[in-house]
Amino acid sequence: MTTVPDVTDDGLPDLVARDASGVLWLYQGTANPASPFKPRIRIGAGWNAYTTLV
């Protein structure tokens, strides 16, 4: 998992994470501390060959 400045170009920081099966997920920031991210969006697959996201 890694934070990224702003994948969606909405001015809020986002989060990208990979699950154990290699699916890449985007969590869009909300700027709301009680609910900091919107529901995740699948943005890729096949990332299980990698051990580190940078």
Q: State which residues form the domain around 13.
A: 2-47
Say how far residue 53 (Cα) sits from the centre of its chain.
11
Q: Using CA atoms, how far apart are residues 21 and 45, in angstroms rounded to an integer?
A: 8
One-letter amino acid identity for 52?
A: T
Residue with tokens 């580190």: 52
Instruction: Give a yes or no: residue 53 inside a domain.
Output: no
Instruction: Give a yes or no: residue 52 inside a domain.
Output: no
In terms of pTM, does the model score above 0.85? no
pLDDT at position 2: 60
Walk along the chain (54 residues) and give the pLDDT tens digit of each residue: 666 689 999 999 999 888 989 999 999 999 999 999 999 999 999 888 877 766
Q: What is the bridge-based pairing of β-strands 2-4 and 24-27?
A: unpaired
Instruction: Give a yes or no: residue 23 inside a domain.
Output: yes
- Dmax over CA atoms of the chain, in Å, equals 34
